[in-house]
Amino acid sequence: MSVALITGANKGIGLETAKQLAETGVTVLLGARDLAKGEAAAAPLKAAGLDVRAVKIDIDDAADHVAVAAYIEKEFGVLDILINNAGVMLDNFPAPNQTSTTSRDLLQKTLDTNLLAPIALTQTLLPLIRKSAAGRIVNLSSILGSLTLHATKGSPIYEAKTFAYDTSKAALNSFTIHLAHELADTKIKVNSAHPGWVKTDMGTDAAPMEIPDGAKTSVWLATLPEDGPSGGFFHMQDALPW
Protein backbone atom coordinates (compact mmCIF):
# COMPACT_ATOMS: atom_id res chain seq x y z
CA MET A 1 0.00 0.00 0.00
CA SER A 2 1.26 3.45 -0.94
CA VAL A 3 0.24 6.60 0.93
CA ALA A 4 -0.07 10.04 -0.67
CA LEU A 5 -0.72 13.51 0.74
CA ILE A 6 -2.18 16.12 -1.61
CA THR A 7 -2.51 19.70 -0.40
CA GLY A 8 -5.38 21.90 -1.54
CA ALA A 9 -7.29 18.80 -2.58
CA ASN A 10 -10.89 19.57 -1.66
CA LYS A 11 -11.67 20.97 -5.12
CA GLY A 12 -10.38 21.45 -8.66
CA ILE A 13 -7.19 19.80 -9.85
CA GLY A 14 -6.29 18.63 -6.36
CA LEU A 15 -9.56 16.76 -5.89
CA GLU A 16 -9.34 15.16 -9.32
CA THR A 17 -5.74 14.16 -8.59
CA ALA A 18 -6.93 12.51 -5.37
CA LYS A 19 -9.57 10.58 -7.31
CA GLN A 20 -7.24 9.40 -10.07
CA LEU A 21 -4.46 8.47 -7.67
CA ALA A 22 -6.85 6.57 -5.40
CA GLU A 23 -8.12 4.69 -8.45
CA THR A 24 -4.61 3.25 -8.83
CA GLY A 25 -4.86 1.77 -5.33
CA VAL A 26 -3.07 4.51 -3.41
CA THR A 27 -4.34 5.58 0.01
CA VAL A 28 -4.87 9.31 -0.41
CA LEU A 29 -4.82 11.90 2.34
CA LEU A 30 -6.96 14.70 0.95
CA GLY A 31 -5.54 17.89 2.43
CA ALA A 32 -7.81 20.87 3.02
CA ARG A 33 -7.58 24.06 5.09
CA ASP A 34 -11.18 23.46 6.23
CA LEU A 35 -11.57 19.88 7.46
CA ALA A 36 -15.35 19.93 6.95
CA LYS A 37 -14.88 20.87 3.30
CA GLY A 38 -12.26 18.15 2.97
CA GLU A 39 -14.56 15.53 4.43
CA ALA A 40 -17.38 16.64 2.14
CA ALA A 41 -15.06 16.33 -0.87
CA ALA A 42 -13.82 12.91 0.24
CA ALA A 43 -17.28 11.48 0.92
CA PRO A 44 -18.28 10.60 -2.68
CA LEU A 45 -14.83 9.12 -3.33
CA LYS A 46 -15.17 6.94 -0.24
CA ALA A 47 -18.67 5.95 -1.37
CA ALA A 48 -17.11 4.80 -4.66
CA GLY A 49 -14.85 2.47 -2.71
CA LEU A 50 -11.71 4.60 -2.84
CA ASP A 51 -9.40 4.92 0.17
CA VAL A 52 -9.48 8.69 0.56
CA ARG A 53 -9.20 10.34 3.97
CA ALA A 54 -9.55 14.05 4.66
CA VAL A 55 -6.86 15.72 6.75
CA LYS A 56 -6.64 19.32 7.90
CA ILE A 57 -3.69 21.18 6.47
CA ASP A 58 -3.42 24.90 5.93
CA ILE A 59 -0.06 25.05 4.18
CA ASP A 60 0.53 28.53 5.58
CA ASP A 61 0.29 27.17 9.15
CA ALA A 62 3.47 25.51 10.41
CA ALA A 63 1.52 23.88 13.24
CA ASP A 64 -0.56 22.02 10.65
CA HIS A 65 2.65 20.73 9.04
CA VAL A 66 3.74 19.23 12.34
CA ALA A 67 0.28 17.83 13.06
CA VAL A 68 -0.12 16.11 9.70
CA ALA A 69 3.39 14.65 9.97
CA ALA A 70 2.51 13.24 13.39
CA TYR A 71 -0.72 11.77 11.99
CA ILE A 72 1.07 10.11 9.07
CA GLU A 73 3.79 8.77 11.39
CA LYS A 74 1.21 7.28 13.73
CA GLU A 75 -1.15 5.83 11.11
CA PHE A 76 1.28 4.70 8.41
CA GLY A 77 4.88 5.24 9.50
CA VAL A 78 5.80 6.36 5.99
CA LEU A 79 4.77 8.78 3.23
CA ASP A 80 5.27 7.61 -0.34
CA ILE A 81 3.91 10.57 -2.31
CA LEU A 82 3.71 14.28 -1.57
CA ILE A 83 1.90 16.49 -4.06
CA ASN A 84 2.34 20.18 -3.25
CA ASN A 85 -0.82 21.21 -5.07
CA ALA A 86 -2.17 24.16 -3.04
CA GLY A 87 -1.47 27.60 -4.43
CA VAL A 88 -2.85 31.07 -5.09
CA MET A 89 -2.84 33.67 -7.84
CA LEU A 90 -3.37 37.13 -6.36
CA ASP A 91 -2.21 39.18 -9.36
CA ASN A 92 -4.79 40.85 -11.59
CA PHE A 93 -5.38 38.45 -14.48
CA PRO A 94 -5.87 39.00 -17.31
CA ALA A 95 -4.33 42.46 -17.18
CA PRO A 96 -1.43 44.42 -18.67
CA ASN A 97 2.02 43.90 -17.18
CA GLN A 98 1.97 45.50 -13.70
CA THR A 99 5.43 44.49 -12.46
CA SER A 100 6.45 48.03 -11.49
CA THR A 101 3.37 48.48 -9.30
CA THR A 102 3.13 45.00 -7.77
CA SER A 103 3.06 45.58 -4.02
CA ARG A 104 5.42 44.02 -1.53
CA ASP A 105 2.38 42.70 0.36
CA LEU A 106 1.06 40.88 -2.70
CA LEU A 107 4.51 39.46 -3.42
CA GLN A 108 4.92 38.33 0.18
CA LYS A 109 1.52 36.61 0.34
CA THR A 110 2.10 34.88 -2.99
CA LEU A 111 5.61 33.71 -2.12
CA ASP A 112 4.50 32.57 1.35
CA THR A 113 1.82 30.26 -0.07
CA ASN A 114 3.31 29.19 -3.40
CA LEU A 115 6.96 28.83 -2.40
CA LEU A 116 7.85 29.05 1.27
CA ALA A 117 4.96 26.91 2.53
CA PRO A 118 5.60 23.98 0.13
CA ILE A 119 9.31 24.10 0.98
CA ALA A 120 8.58 24.04 4.71
CA LEU A 121 6.02 21.24 4.40
CA THR A 122 8.37 19.16 2.26
CA GLN A 123 11.18 19.62 4.76
CA THR A 124 8.89 18.54 7.61
CA LEU A 125 7.67 15.44 5.77
CA LEU A 126 10.98 14.42 4.19
CA PRO A 127 11.97 12.06 7.04
CA LEU A 128 8.76 10.10 6.35
CA ILE A 129 9.33 10.17 2.58
CA ARG A 130 12.86 8.84 3.10
CA LYS A 131 11.28 5.73 4.63
CA SER A 132 9.45 4.99 1.36
CA ALA A 133 10.74 2.37 -1.05
CA ALA A 134 10.01 4.84 -3.87
CA GLY A 135 9.28 8.35 -2.63
CA ARG A 136 7.79 10.84 -5.06
CA ILE A 137 7.51 14.62 -4.58
CA VAL A 138 5.47 16.62 -7.10
CA ASN A 139 5.51 20.42 -7.01
CA LEU A 140 2.60 22.03 -8.84
CA SER A 141 4.23 24.72 -10.91
CA SER A 142 3.00 26.44 -14.05
CA ILE A 143 4.24 27.16 -17.54
CA LEU A 144 4.11 30.77 -16.28
CA GLY A 145 7.17 29.87 -14.20
CA SER A 146 9.27 29.29 -17.33
CA LEU A 147 11.88 32.04 -17.59
CA THR A 148 12.87 30.79 -21.04
CA LEU A 149 9.36 31.15 -22.45
CA HIS A 150 8.81 34.50 -20.72
CA ALA A 151 11.96 35.83 -22.40
CA THR A 152 11.11 34.43 -25.84
CA LYS A 153 9.05 36.69 -28.08
CA GLY A 154 6.24 34.78 -29.72
CA SER A 155 6.08 32.09 -27.01
CA PRO A 156 2.62 31.09 -25.71
CA ILE A 157 3.18 33.03 -22.47
CA TYR A 158 5.25 35.99 -23.68
CA GLU A 159 2.44 38.51 -23.11
CA ALA A 160 1.16 36.90 -19.89
CA LYS A 161 3.16 38.68 -17.20
CA THR A 162 1.66 38.09 -13.73
CA PHE A 163 4.79 39.03 -11.80
CA ALA A 164 4.13 37.69 -8.30
CA TYR A 165 2.62 34.39 -9.43
CA ASP A 166 5.21 33.83 -12.17
CA THR A 167 8.06 34.56 -9.77
CA SER A 168 6.72 32.15 -7.17
CA LYS A 169 6.51 29.33 -9.69
CA ALA A 170 9.96 30.02 -11.14
CA ALA A 171 11.35 29.86 -7.60
CA LEU A 172 9.40 26.66 -6.90
CA ASN A 173 11.05 25.18 -9.99
CA SER A 174 14.41 26.13 -8.48
CA PHE A 175 13.45 24.23 -5.32
CA THR A 176 12.63 21.19 -7.46
CA ILE A 177 16.04 21.30 -9.14
CA HIS A 178 17.95 21.76 -5.89
CA LEU A 179 16.07 19.12 -3.89
CA ALA A 180 16.30 16.59 -6.72
CA HIS A 181 20.07 17.15 -6.80
CA GLU A 182 20.35 16.65 -3.03
CA LEU A 183 18.32 13.43 -3.23
CA ALA A 184 19.95 12.09 -6.41
CA ASP A 185 21.52 9.17 -4.56
CA THR A 186 18.19 8.10 -3.05
CA LYS A 187 15.08 6.49 -4.53
CA ILE A 188 13.14 9.73 -4.13
CA LYS A 189 12.16 11.58 -7.30
CA VAL A 190 11.30 15.29 -7.29
CA ASN A 191 9.63 17.00 -10.25
CA SER A 192 7.64 20.09 -11.20
CA ALA A 193 4.30 19.72 -12.95
CA HIS A 194 2.48 22.15 -15.22
CA PRO A 195 -1.11 20.88 -15.16
CA GLY A 196 -2.16 23.03 -18.10
CA TRP A 197 -4.65 25.87 -18.30
CA VAL A 198 -7.63 24.18 -16.70
CA LYS A 199 -11.25 25.14 -16.02
CA THR A 200 -10.93 25.77 -12.27
CA ASP A 201 -11.63 28.71 -9.96
CA MET A 202 -8.15 29.98 -10.79
CA GLY A 203 -8.15 29.02 -14.47
CA THR A 204 -11.72 30.27 -15.11
CA ASP A 205 -14.12 29.00 -17.76
CA ALA A 206 -11.91 30.57 -20.44
CA ALA A 207 -9.42 27.73 -19.99
CA PRO A 208 -9.29 25.11 -22.76
CA MET A 209 -8.63 22.03 -20.58
CA GLU A 210 -11.06 20.06 -18.45
CA ILE A 211 -10.20 19.14 -14.87
CA PRO A 212 -9.64 15.38 -15.50
CA ASP A 213 -6.86 16.22 -17.96
CA GLY A 214 -5.41 18.76 -15.54
CA ALA A 215 -4.67 16.02 -13.00
CA LYS A 216 -2.85 13.69 -15.38
CA THR A 217 0.62 15.22 -15.09
CA SER A 218 0.61 15.06 -11.28
CA VAL A 219 -0.62 11.46 -11.27
CA TRP A 220 2.05 10.43 -13.79
CA LEU A 221 4.84 12.05 -11.78
CA ALA A 222 3.48 10.61 -8.52
CA THR A 223 3.62 7.08 -9.90
CA LEU A 224 6.88 7.17 -11.86
CA PRO A 225 8.76 3.89 -12.20
CA GLU A 226 12.28 3.48 -10.85
CA ASP A 227 13.81 4.60 -14.15
CA GLY A 228 11.63 7.72 -14.36
CA PRO A 229 12.99 11.28 -14.41
CA SER A 230 13.87 13.47 -11.44
CA GLY A 231 14.60 17.17 -11.34
CA GLY A 232 12.43 17.91 -14.38
CA PHE A 233 9.58 20.20 -15.41
CA PHE A 234 6.75 18.49 -17.29
CA HIS A 235 3.32 18.87 -18.85
CA MET A 236 1.72 15.50 -19.46
CA GLN A 237 4.91 13.60 -20.32
CA ASP A 238 6.63 16.38 -22.25
CA ALA A 239 9.54 18.33 -20.77
CA LEU A 240 9.14 22.10 -20.52
CA PRO A 241 11.97 24.68 -20.66
CA TRP A 242 13.00 26.24 -17.38
Taking only the tens place, the pLDDT of each residue in 182-203 is 999 999 999 999 997 654 555 4
Taking only the tens place, the pLDDT of each residue in 78-132 is 999 999 999 999 999 888 999 999 999 999 999 999 999 999 999 999 999 999 9
Q: Which residue segment(s) compose the domain that 90 sits in?
A: 3-239
Asked if 211 and 12 touch (Cβ cutoff 8 Å), the reply is yes
Instruction: Provide the CATH number for the domain around residue 146.
Output: 3.40.50.720
∠ CA(139), CA(112), CA(6), 5° rounding? 35
Pick left, alpha or beta for residue 55 (phi over 0 → left; psi -120 to 50 → alpha; otherwise beta): beta
Asked if 136 and 221 touch (Cβ cutoff 8 Å), the reply is yes
The domain total for the chain is: 1
pLDDT value, residue 94: 80
Residues with a known catalytic role: 165, 169
pLDDT value, residue 211: 76
